[in-house]
Amino acid sequence: MIMKGKKGLIVGIANNKSIAYGIAKAAHKEGAELAFTYLNEQLEKRVRPIAKEFGSDKVYKLDVNSDEELEALTKSLEKDFGKIDFIVHSVAFAPRSALDGRFIDTDRKSFDIAMQTSVYSLIALCHACESVLNDNGSVLTLTYLGGPKYIPHYNVMGVAKAALESSVRYLAVDLGSRGIRVNAISAGPIKTLAASGIGDFRAILKWNEINSPLNKNVTIDEVGNSGMYLLSDLSSGVTGEVHYVDAGYNIMGMGAIDQDENGKTIMKWDKFR
């Protein structure tokens, strides 16, 4: 098994529909030993059964915006594992009000919350866990096309994802001297708890399905397999990258075209409107 003997931390898993769940599943299947975090009591009730499913009783409370809890996490990891080999960062949040209307109307507080929770949390997590992360380890975070490109209703989260992707590159340099790799997966739209806050999400799913080269939306298992690759030694020469797992949608410069029954060129989207 590719990840036999590897130990890792999964931060931000919400339920068995989460992208982080897909990554944990793939890593566990290949032999990795996992630990998990939860934000509060409500999420703890979801996370503990998932940890048990993957044969783990290592579950820690963590608010990524709390330096005290980050410090406590490091101590717990050192006590339970000594060292770990990888970290999965699956944390993002912005107030719902900041995902509606015009981006220009984003208030300062919402902007700060989005950046602290969705971006600085990766930096803070890497800093806190640097001492317990083995040389030649791997850090993986999750981003979305709304960072480098405009996506309707993504607003301040798009700006946060752009900052997250930039942080990946800078962290890759900081940690590269120890052989630690830092990468991001940019997954296509998937029906997750986080995605439920995005307006017109059903239309976004359909648009991606119609216009991606593979004519489909990806699954958490497909993203999970790519995540496992980036966490494993198979990707030992890869760092600072944003790896797209979106059925190829990111390569498209315009909507896909097709022909109607009369042989006339039309946009494929028109068939579904």
3-class SS at 21? helix
Give the bridge partners for 38, in sequence order.
61
Q: Which amino acid is at 43?
A: L
Question: Is 60 among the catalytic positions?
Answer: no
3-class SS at 38? strand
155-176 helix and 108-115 helix, angle to the nearest 10 degrees:
40
Of 241, 208, 248, residue with least CA distance to 227:
241
Give the bridge partners for 35, in sequence order.
9
Concatenate the DSSP letters of all residues of 105-166 into one string: G--HHHHHHHHIIIIIHHHHHHHHHGGGEEEEEEEEEEE-TTTTS--TTTHHHHHHHHHHHH
Which of 60, 144, 229, 249 does the annotation list as catalytic? 144
Which of 21, 38, 60, 154 does the annotation list as catalytic? 154
Rounded to a whole number of angstroms, the CA Rg of the chain reads 19
C-alpha span between 230 and 217 (Å, rounded): 21
C-alpha span between 155 and 98 (Å, rounded): 7
Query: What angle (nearest 5°) sits at the alpha carbon of residue 141, between those of residues 140 and 147?
Result: 140
In the chain, what is the straight-line distance between the N-terminal and C-terminal CA atoms, in Å? Answer: 46
Structure tokens at 87: 């970290």
Question: Is 244 among the catalytic positions?
Answer: no
Give the bridge partners for 85, in sequence order.
none
Q: Which residues are catalytic?
A: 144, 154
